[in-house]
Every structure is written in C-alpha cells, then in structure tokens.
Structure 1
C-alpha cells in the first residue's frame, strides 16, 4: 500500500518529537513547564517522566485517530472523497503540535520562549490552512461545519463551507498578526468567535430559505400547493 507524503510528514513529526524529548531529557528539570497564561507566564507544570512526553504522546494519538477516521466513516459520509485534503489537515495539526512540543522543551532547558507571541502566530497559520481547505470538504461526520442544516442539504454544506473558508482565512490572518504584534487575547477570541459562529447561523438561515423555496406555499390545511 502506497503511503502518501502527508502521512510520511506526519510520522516524521511524531518520531522527531519523541527523539527531541529523549535527547533533552537529561537537561530538563524534574517539573516541566507545560502551560502558560495569556501573558506568556508559566502557570502549570508536569513532572518527569511524563512531562517531556505529554505532547509527543498526544501527537501519536492524534495521528492514529486521523488514520482511523477514513476506515470508520459511514457510507455516504466518506472522508476518502477528499482524502488528500484530509491528510493535508492531518499534517498541519501534527506540525502545530510539534511546534508546541519544541517550545515546551526549549523552555524547559532554560531558553526564553515568547509563548504569548509564537503560539497565536502558529494557530493563525493553522486557521489559514484550514480555511484554504474548507471549501473542498465533502459531507462527513468528522471535520467541517457539521450542523443539522449542512448535513441535511448538499447545497447548504457547500455554500456554508465556502463562507467558512473565507472567514477562517481572515481569522487566521488576524490571529497571526495579533501574535506577532503582541495584540493579546481579545483580537484572537473575537476573530475566532466570529469565524466559528457566523457559518453556523448562516447554515440555518440558508437552509430555511432553500427549504422554503422548495416546499412553496401551503393551503389552509397545511398541504403544499403547486404553482
């Protein structure tokens, strides 16, 4: 069976994350910084031996789950119909976790890491990639804007994901800029909230409009009348 480049890349990131943790293990303190507040100040630690391997284990678990998804998708909602896009998203998410893993380990050995800037910037890039791919999603139960109205209508699914893709790219640009410029959490939260909520509302109103047009007017008994 041929293994795609995206799978090779994802596996490479997972292996590199474990290798990095093993290489730096002896230099790391007994408690590893693993959580930062919005200002970039450490406010959470995880002790050895788990601390250095938390994110590599999360990466491995995520990779395995995303490999399993195409095999458990129900008929009519198969991920295989946009397999290349799905694998690109997989590689993007694993790469982002690899970045976080590298930052955590570097911080653990005493390197000054501007987490409040780098993490939002990385998250912004992820949003931009997701937005760029979103219009290529076909109907499925695992990724995309899965509302009752998008799942009930192919047209609503397509048009909602086109809008969602544009909004995610715009939100990614805002989040990236906020991270690089030190804008803080408010622009990030605002951009992500708008990008997440707007397509949901749009899918509802679009479905009502389309279904209303299809059903047409009704008579006094509630039955549909033909024109």
Structure 2
C-alpha cells in the first residue's frame, strides 16, 4: 500500500475513534475503566478526558511512526524494499487499537462488552496477520525478530522469520479458540509467549549452523 493511502486509512481510523468518543462522552462517568483482568473485571481507571482521548491519540502516534520510521532507517536496513508489507502491518496494528478502543469506550459508558474476549480475539487475529507476512519482512531495526544474529545475516533473518511466521499463526489460532473459554485463556497467553521467545532463541542456533564459528574463535589455539 502506498504511503499516501496508508496515511489516509490511518486518518479514517483516528476519525472513527474520535467519533465514538464524542458520541459516548455524555454517558461516561468521571472515572472510566481502562484496564481489565483476564476475567473481564475492571482493575484500572482514568479520568473521562484521558480515557476518551487516549485511543485516537494512540492511533495517531502509530500513524506518525508509520511515516517516520522509513525516513530514519539506516542504509542496508531500509524499509522501502518491503514498504507495502510494512504499511499493511502497521495498519493492522492500528486497526486492532481501534477495535480495542471502541470496545473499551463502550464498556466505560456502561454497555455490556466482553472486553477480555474481544481483546484476545483482536490480538489473536493480529498475530495471524503478522505471522502470514513475517517471512516477507527484510532486515530492519524496527519490525520483526531483531537479534544480533538475525541482523548480522540475511539468511538467518529469513529462516528465523519463516519459523516465527508459523509460530505466530499457531499462537493466533490458539488465542482465538481460547478467547471465549475462560478456563484456558492463561494457556493461550503461554503459547503466545513461547511464539514470541522461541524464534529469538532459535536465531542464535540458526546463526551458528549457517555461519559457523566467529572468525576470532577460529584464531584461538
């Protein structure tokens, strides 16, 4: 997706979040729930102004990063070669923020909204989207599995991200399945943690297999 189109979609997301905030403003209490535990019980509150403003501001900040990061990427790690995928993924993240924001504002206004279920479903779908595109990311400093070994080798980056893609999709499926089942929600969070950590750990072993010993180690007696 072209940068201009990406910014246009981001602007639509911000406008939608603002519209929902303005619509629900009269129904909001002075202190609004902004955080829920795994059982769907509110355990964090904020002032009405901040609870309504935080979501459009967050989406706008992500839109700003979407435009900024390609401009400050160092040489040999540019985002331009996969700009379309980068834009699509950043919009996916913003879309999840929009869904969470609208649900949170509706819940804060007193509507019966299953926040935990919605959050898990949204994050699960996002993980599946990220996993689907993970193997198409090229080396960069802002998105993907960024370890010393993936950044040092294009081959290590590619193999690590192919692995991460499968794991992210599986973790997303697990989260979507577990979302409406309170008894197994913690298990799905564990699966997500493994999906995020395993590729980073595996990148070291992939590097060792593909690149061999570091040159300084070969000089040792």
TM-score interval, normalised by the smaller of the two chains: over 0.9
Does the CA contact (< 8 Å) of 1:14 and 1:56 recur in 2? Answer: yes
1:192 aligns with 2:192: yes
**d(CA) in 2 for partners of 1:184, 1:101:** 25
Which residue is equivalent to 2:56?
56
1:80 aligns with 2:80: yes
**d(CA) in 2 for partners of 1:195, 1:4:** 33
**d(CA) in 1 for partners of 2:49, 2:60:** 17
Does the CA contact (< 8 Å) of 2:39 and 2:182 recur in 1? Answer: no
Structure label with greater radius of gyration: 1
Which residue is equivalent to 1:45?
45
Does the CA contact (< 8 Å) of 1:171 and 1:192 recur in 2? Answer: yes
Which residue is equivalent to 1:67?
67
Which residue is equivalent to 1:212?
212
**d(CA) in 1 for partners of 2:214, 2:73:** 30
Which residue is equivalent to 2:99?
99
Query: 1:105 Cα deviation (Å)?
Result: 1.3
CA separation of 1:184/1:36 partners in 2, compared to 1, >3 Å: closer, same or farther? farther
TM-score (ref. length: structure 2): 0.92
- Where do residues 16-165 of structure 1 align in structure 2 (5 Å cutoff)? 16-165=16-165
Does the CA contact (< 8 Å) of 1:77 and 1:141 recur in 2? Answer: yes
Query: 1:214 Cα deviation (Å)?
Result: 9.3
1:63-86 Cα distance to aligned partner (Å, 9 max, x none): 111210001111111111110001
CA separation of 1:131/1:26 partners in 2, compared to 1, >3 Å: closer, same or farther? same
**d(CA) in 1 for partners of 2:97, 2:5:** 18
Does the CA contact (< 8 Å) of 1:116 and 1:182 recur in 2? Answer: no
1:177 aligns with 2:180: no
Unaligned runs of 5+ in 2: none
**d(CA) in 2 for partners of 1:120, 1:176:** 7
CA separation of 1:112/1:170 partners in 2, compared to 1, >3 Å: closer, same or farther? same
**d(CA) in 2 for partners of 1:88, 1:108:** 30
C-alpha RMSD over aligned residues = 1.9
Q: Secondary structure at the match of 1:155?
A: helix
**d(CA) in 2 for partners of 1:184, 1:106:** 26
TM-score (ref. length: structure 1): 0.90
CA separation of 1:3/1:161 partners in 2, compared to 1, >3 Å: closer, same or farther? closer
Query: 1:39 Cα deviation (Å)?
Result: 0.6
Query: 1:189 Cα deviation (Å)?
Result: 2.0
**d(CA) in 2 for partners of 1:178, 1:146:** 29
**d(CA) in 2 for partners of 1:145, 1:46:** 34
Unaligned runs of 5+ in 1: none
